[in-house]
Amino acid sequence: MTTIAAPARSKPAIALVLDGANPPQLRPLLEAHFQVHGIPVSDGMSRSVAAFAGEIRALVTATLVGADHRLIGALPRLELIACTGGHVDRIDRQAAAVRNIRLARVPGASAPDVADLAIALMLAVARRVCESDRFVRAGRWTKSPMPFGRRVNGKRLGIVGLGSIGRIVARRAEAFDMQVVYHGRGPKDGVPYRYYDDVAAMAADVDFLSLHCKSGPETRHMIDAKVLRALGPDGFLINAARGAVVDQPALIRALRDGTIAGAGLDVFTDEPDVPTELMAFDNVVVQPHHGAFTHETKQIMSDTTLANLLAHFAGRPVPHPAG
């Protein structure tokens, strides 16, 4: 009797946004389980999927790319959008909800690394680390002394947004004997730090103002000229949240006029374009939105994204939905 083997089940087809923020190990990991179609990041992403749009059942995207209504609309069989980061603010949630498309994310993976970078930015800008590096490399040490920096230990730190990242920053700061206070939508239960309901009032009382709030209409340009004036000529601004939280032209004016002492910035209004004025200041340390860019975090992002996809295609709830 001849036994006819059942045809092998084909792998589900998914689309992967080819963004530099996604881990390099992600695609090979996904290809072991899925038929993966890459989508280069561009303004015409919805057109670039035309050749395989009818096959795609899941879309894997990055936090800073997301998925707009045009891309979602171009994928008629789409069931799931899996973001490799913790924020889904660049995914058109309304367009997804209309079609009952599920959203998944990777919550909290990068929080310790972003917190570490915030502390690094404080140290770098206050102790003039990058400026001193340039000073030595240019051979200037043999000709004149390097100007003094400012201490971090024992200073006052104001945190805007005491969420998962902000709380880790606070714990890190305590190791430097810093006095921590915070501002947010409301006071948090069970924290020992003083709460300010007005961010300008808090800025006036601190030496460092570190931003860790979400980006949205309610926080857009929260850090404006008034807040920067309150922070004052001995105060430093640290932004590892989102560029839109800061009124960037107001920040440039404040740095130009000596309104504040300096800034450590991982994020900008129109990334990856950084104003030349910002890069011209010696008292500004800039980073390429790199808070989450560690090998360890990227591995967690890859593994969790795969777990979300496997659960969905097995008919189970995704372990990390974006509610």
Q: Is 271 a catalytic residue?
A: yes
DSSP 322: -
Place of tokens 């309610």: 218
Strand ordering across the sheet containing 194-196: 194-196, 179-183, 156-160, 208-211, 236-239, 262-265, 284-286
DSSP 272: T
Distant-in-sequence, close-in-space partners of 8: CB < 8 Å, separation ≥ 6: none
How far apart are alpha carbons 85 and 18 in whole angstroms? 14
How far apart are alpha carbons 216 and 228 in whole angstroms? 20
Distant-in-sequence, close-in-space partners of 132: CB < 8 Å, separation ≥ 6: 146, 149
- Catalytic residue of the set 242, 277, 316, 320: 242
Strand, coil or helix: what is 18? strand
How far apart are alpha carbons 125 and 292 in whole angstroms? 20
- Catalytic residue of the set 289, 290, 295, 296: 289
DSSP 245: G
Place of tokens 């300096």: 262
User: What are the angstrom distances between the C-alpha of 273 and each of 143, 265, 277?
Assistant: 35, 13, 12
What is the number of other CB atoms lying within 10 angstroms of the CB of residue 30? 21
- Catalytic residue of the set 271, 295, 296, 320: 271
Q: Is 242 a catalytic residue?
A: yes
Q: Which tokens belong to 75?
A: 């994928």
Distant-in-sequence, close-in-space partners of 165: CB < 8 Å, separation ≥ 6: 111, 114, 115, 118, 212, 240
Catalytic residues: 242, 271, 289
